[in-house]
């Protein structure tokens, strides 16, 4: 929330490659929860000073379990080699050349 630096997949891959790394994988994640993520961002106050970051962690146990299960499903898909086309975050794996 209120991050200043956001990269597209292309920008991230190019920056990592220019830094001397060989990119082996780049995929999105937090795909399943993207609609909820977007709704939460729409509800954020315009002024960052009015935002309480801890408020994002105040959810009930049931909701937390449900959201955790959705992310676990995504993690399993990624481990199986599925590249997710969109999401709120990017995961990149690279090695030194």
Instruction: Tell me the per-residue pLDDT of 15-72, one tens digit each, with 9 for 90 and over.
Output: 999 999 999 999 999 999 888 878 877 777 677 777 777 776 778 899 889 999 999 9
pLDDT of residue 83: 93
pLDDT of residue 92: 96
Residue-range domain boundaries for the chain: 9-96
pTM for the whole thing?
0.70
pLDDT of residue 59: 83
Helix (H, G, I), strand (E, B) or coil at 51: coil
């Amino acid at each position: 929330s209120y991050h200043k630096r956001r990269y597209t997949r292309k920008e991230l891959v190019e920056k990592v490659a220019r830094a001397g790394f060989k990119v082996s994988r780049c995929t999105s994640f937090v795909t399943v929860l993207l609609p909820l993520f977007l709704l939460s961002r729409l509800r954020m106050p315009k002024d960052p000073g009015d935002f309480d970051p801890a408020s994002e962690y105040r959810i009930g146990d049931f909701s937390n379990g449900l959201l955790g299960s959705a992310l676990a499903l995504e993690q399993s898909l990624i481990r199986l080699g599925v590249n997710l086309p969109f999401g709120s975050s990017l995961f990149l794996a690279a090695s030194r050349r």
